[in-house]
Structure 1
Amino acid sequence: MAELDLMAPGPLPGVPAHSLVTLSPDSGSDSPAEAEDQGSLESPPGEPEGLGTGSGGEGEEEILCDFCLGASRVRAVKSCLTCMVNYCEEHLRPHQENSKLHSHQLAEPVKDRDLRTCPTHHSPPVAFCCTDRQCICQECGQGEHKGHASVPLDVARRDKEAELRGTQLDLERKLKLNENAIARLQANHKSVLVSVSEVKMVAEEQFGELLAAVRKAQADVMLFLEEKEQAALSQANGIKAHLEHRSAEMEKSQQELGRIVAISNTVLFLEEYCKFKNTEDSVFPSVYIGLKDKLSGIRKVIMDSTVHLVQLLHNYRNKLEEFAREEEYDIRTQVSAVVERKYWTSKPEPSTRQQFLQCKL
């Protein structure tokens, strides 16, 4: 970008020659732009300057909004010395509500010929100061903007238009990328629901099988214990019946002994005695049928198996949590490439003291 030599006398390089029109002695301090407007805005002889024909000769000329169209133009309430445009109350709102426009200099409404002149020197702008980013007149270029990088207005406009076209293309590209990302997220939303639903079905099926296996194991153990219980009770009942039968036989033997003792014939006594002694004496079975010692081993197997299963389930949960942490890191890595950190998915609020201590401030 070419710099203007503001130290040299004469017109600024690249500035149209008409911008330095020589002022006639009787023209006063009127600028070339004002001289241009004299043909169309000059008041008739005898009419006070500044009175408009539309006002019927009474009062000052009404200044209208430059953004209103056709016959619907309304009275301007402010003029922007940065935009060099008059605004009505409705069209002034962006300057009041948009923080990027708060730096613009607003003033009371002025006529177009005054608005498009330097507010300090009342001369038409002839160049654009790239340093201060504003239009300047010839006197500004030789004064407070001396030494600044400046270009002619038409060059500045071409540069800014090219810059805005590039910005517009960049915004269109970003908008398209953003819309594509939104479309992918919407498709992802359905995919997430379907995927989670499928995994839920698998989890319910697997946990159903696990619960069924646990219930079957419980039923098998209870059946085993019931069988042992029935076997022990049957054995006890069998021994009881045998002992009752032996009691009846011993009562008969007792009666037989009484009869033998009462025999007076010695030979007959000895013969009966020998018969009695030849009777086989049965062995009495053990009457202790306790299962406590036998069932202690079964109790140990059940407890050890339960501890082992609980440990397996705990390891299963740890694997799930580890996998979830890896997946969360992968998702955050992908999201951080296209989304600002403040829009990242946050973790749920901590509900326990341990979760609260793990939070990073």
Structure 2
Amino acid sequence: MSSSSGPLTEELQCSICLDVFTDPVSTPCGHNFCKTCVYKYWDNSQTCNCPYCKETFNQRPDLKINTTLREIIDLYKEKSPEKKTEVLCDYCEETKLKALKLCLVCQSSYCETHLQPHFKVSSLKKHKLMDPVSNLEDYICQKHERPLELFCRADQACVCLMCAVTDHKNHNTVPLEEESKEKKIQLMKTQKDVQQMIQDRIKKIQGVKHSAEVRKRNTEEEKAAHVELFTDLIRSIERCQTELLEMMEEQQKA
């Protein structure tokens, strides 16, 4: 279990594993869980119900991944202050220095010194550089072993130049940077909407709590008033009873 921290950690946290969602899915009652967590929960339960609110379903729902929530989580992880794995230069022989850039064409990481040829040699200047990562395979087309430079909007997938002229020939493909910029704008808007929704929910909860406190206070005041009223009534009856008995005794003496 990781200890991610951030402004939306609790809202992006699965209530089963208590970690940031992985492949988040939404149940029919509107609660979110990791896909693996909720399925494992149902496998170990005799009834199919929501792990959070316990609402029971007649049959096990076929849950689909909540893509909007997953994109928000990806954005959250991208901006998370957690320390990233340090990538070292592939060309340092003795003491490995920290890599400054990763070349997707050469598929190697370079420190500041070994990166210089990519700024000076004309053929290397055309290579695509990016910040170093430990999971290089996620940025390389496994079929053509080329950099994933384009995004196919039809299939919603990253593709290389070779894919764009073969498998995705008639699809709408755009540079990865362009699609990434648009996605970030959309995600920022979605994150803003989610934060506003959270604030609205908090205000509603506070309003309900305040109403409950007011009702409780009014009820206590009414109870106190009724107790006082009946106490006065009992005292009055007892006084009348005493006076009546005294009058009857006086009449008996007379």
Structure 1 length as normaliser, TM-score?
A: 0.29
Q: Which has the higher contact order (CA 8 A, sep 6+)?
A: 1
More helix by share: 1
Larger Rg: 1
More strand by share: 2
